[in-house]
Structures are given as structure tokens and as C-alpha cells.
Amino acid sequence: MNDFEKRLAEIPLNPAPAGWREAILAAAEKETPRARATIFPWRPVAWGALAACWVLIGFFNFSGPGRGEIHSLAIAPGRTPTAPQMAEYFERHRLLLRWPAATETIFQIDRSKI
Amino acid sequence: MSADLAAIYDAYGGALIAFARNLTRSDADARDVTQEIFCRLARNPVLLAEARSPRAFLLTMAYRLAVDLHRRRAVRERHAAGPVEVFAPPAHPDETHFRQAVAVAMSELPEEQRAVIHLKLWEALTFEEIAAVLDLSAHTAASRYRYGIDKLRSLLRPVYEEIL
């Protein structure tokens, strides 16, 4: 190392600004595994309750008809009506067809008598 | 506060900040680099235990983080870095002038030459050790140092001859 290099090497470097030590170490402390564990601490009752909730949700989810079953029920044709049901249906239909004629006779009133 | 991290900071923090400051030419970036080193040490406490030379290992981390930061800055329009006080302020005014001139001259060197010169002059590492820190050959480290010192000498000649 010559004189010029020695002269350069003698220049002291600026020390770290005050407050950096605490700030840097505090930031690092948050990253330690122990500090991270405190975000979700081990509390058996709380974690057990959460697990029970998920079990219940799962139970209700799988106990009813599945999504495919609901869809097939929605698009499936209804049950074939029985003979008495068909007869009742046709009777109602026949009555409905006769309804306009009946109303006409009701409302054809002889106004001269009023 | 972890006692281990505090002890590591007390032993190497000053050197890491000075190196990062000289590389990045920014106080904020030097702090980011140093903080990231300590966050990594906190996440993985055995990191330093596996290192053969803790000082060299930490300087390598600082160099890589500074280079990463430099690349990211280059991609997104590196904003003008403010003046950074790499060297301690002296008592004598002539010395102030010289130190300022050295700081300016250092900032004109390419990052890789600056890194080698810093490790050689202010960390007193051998070229083999510098090569290990910067992940290059000892020959490359020596040639970068030579080029860098020649450039510094030519930049500082007027000031240096004045104070002699």
C-alpha cells in the first residue's frame, strides 16, 4: 500500500446515525420466529372452537343435497298425474270454458225493469 | 430485543452501514440494506452460525442487497440521490476539503470498483477475501482495485498535492 492509499485508508468512516440501532433491531425483532408466533398464539380452547365451527360447516355442507342433485331436481319433469287427478283437471277445465257463457247470462239484465 | 442480534449489530453494524452507504450513496438505502440483513438474520438465526467468517458473510449480504437495490432503482427511474456523508467530519478545515473531495471522487467510480476499494482500504481485507465477499476471482478484485485507485489518484491529484 503506497502513501496515497494509506492516506485514504486513514480517513475514518462516518458512524451510523443515532437511533438506527434501535430502529433496525426493533424491525428485526418483529421477524423472529418467536415474535411471529405471537400473532397466532396457541390457545387450545379458541383453536378447538374454531375447528368445531369448521366441522359443523362441513357437516351442513355435505348433509343436504349436493349442487348437482339440486340442479337435476330443478329440471326434472314432474310426476305423472294419476287418473283421478286427470279427471279432476279436465272437469275444472270444462267449467272454466263454460264460465264466459255463464257470466254473459248474469250480466244481460233487462234494464227497463230497474 | 434479541441479545444475539444486538451483539451482532454492535460488532458489525457500523462496518455494514459504512459499506452500504459507500455503495448506495444514500443514507436511506444504506439503512434499508442493513435492516434487511438483520431481518434475514432474525428469520433464520442459524444463517450466521453456518458462516465461516461472519464479517465476510455479512459484507457479502450487504453487497448483494445493495446491488439488487441499485438494479431496482435503475429500472424505475433512479431518483437523484442526495449528498451522503461517507466520512466522519474532521476538525481541521483542510482535511474537510480533502474528505469531501475523496467522497466526490469515490462517487464517480463504478460500483464494482468502489466496493473493492472500500473493502481493501477500510475493511483491510486481502484480495482473496474481497474475491470471496464479492464472488469474483482474486485477480479481478486486484485489477478493479488498481483501476479504481488510479482513477482516484487522477481525480484527487490537485487536492492531494496541495495538502502534502
Q: Which three cell numbers stand for residue B44?
A: 433464520
Nearest to B88 among A14, A30, A31 (CB): A14
Smallest CA-to-CA distance from B105 within B34, B59, B51, B160 is with B160
Q: Is the pLDDT of residue B156 over 80?
A: yes
Q: Which three cell numbers stand for residue B142?
A: 486486484
Q: Is the pLDDT of residue B150 over 80?
A: yes
Q: Which three cell numbers stand for residue B9?
A: 449489530
Whether A31 is in a domain gets the answer: yes
What does the pLDDT look like over B48-107, one tens digit per residue?
Answer: 888 888 999 999 999 999 998 888 876 555 555 555 788 888 878 778 888 888 988 998
Query: Quick one: which H or E segment has residue A18?
Result: none
- Tell me which residue range forms the domain holding A83: 7-113
Do the chains contact at B2 and A29, CB–CB below 8 Å?
yes
Residue of B33 and A73 predicted with greater confidence: B33
Kindly indicate the confidence band of residue B115, based on its pLDDT and cuts at 50, 70 and 90: very high
| Long-range CB contacts (within 8 A, 24+) of B25-28 | B25/B81, B25/B84, B25/B86, B25/B107, B26/B81, B26/B82, B26/B84, B27/A17, B27/B82, B27/B84, B27/B85
Q: Which three cell numbers stand for residue A56?
A: 359443523
Domain count within chain A: 1
Whether A75 is in a domain gets the answer: yes
What does the pLDDT look like over A54-93, one tens digit per residue?
Answer: 999 998 888 766 666 666 656 666 677 788 888 998 888 8
Nearest to B88 among A7, A12, A23 (CB): A12
Q: In this predicted structure, what is the pLDDT of residue A53? A: 93
Whether A72 is in a domain gets the answer: yes
| B10, B17, B95, B152: best to mutate for the A interface, most A CBs within 10 A | B17
Q: In this predicted structure, what is the pLDDT of residue A2? A: 86
* pTM of the predicted structure, to 2 decimals: 0.66
Measured between its terminal Cα atoms, the distance across chain A in Å is 135
Whether A1 is in a domain gets the answer: no
- Minimum Cα–Cα distance from B126: chain A residue: A1
Nearest to A11 among B21, B45, B87 (CB): B87
- The chain-wide mean pLDDT, for chain B, equals 86
Do the chains contact at B149 and A5, CB–CB below 8 Å?
yes
- Minimum Cα–Cα distance from A18: chain B residue: B14
The C-alpha atoms of residue B110 and residue B144 are separated, in whole angstroms, by 10
Contacts of A32 in chain B (CB under 8 A): 2, 42-43, 45
The C-alpha atoms of residue B35 and residue A26 are separated, in whole angstroms, by 9
Mean pLDDT across the stretch B116-132?
94
Q: In this predicted structure, what is the pLDDT of residue A66? A: 63
Do the chains contact at B17 and A16, CB–CB below 8 Å?
yes
Whether A2 is in a domain gets the answer: no
Q: In this predicted structure, what is the pLDDT of residue B81? A: 53
Q: Which three cell numbers stand for residue B58?
A: 455479512
Contacts of A4 in chain B (CB under 8 A): 149, 153, 156, 160
Residue of B60 and A98 predicted with greater confidence: B60
For residues A25 and B9, the answer to whether their CB atoms sit within 8 Å is yes
Whether A94 is in a domain gets the answer: yes
* CA distances from residue B50 to A64, A81, B117 in whole angstroms, order as listed: 56, 82, 27
For residues B151 and B109, the answer to whether their CB atoms sit within 8 Å is yes
DSSP line for B8-58: HIIIIIHHHHHHHHHHH--HHHHHHHHHHHHHHHHH-THHHHT-SSHHHHH
For residues B32 and B69, the answer to whether their CB atoms sit within 8 Å is yes
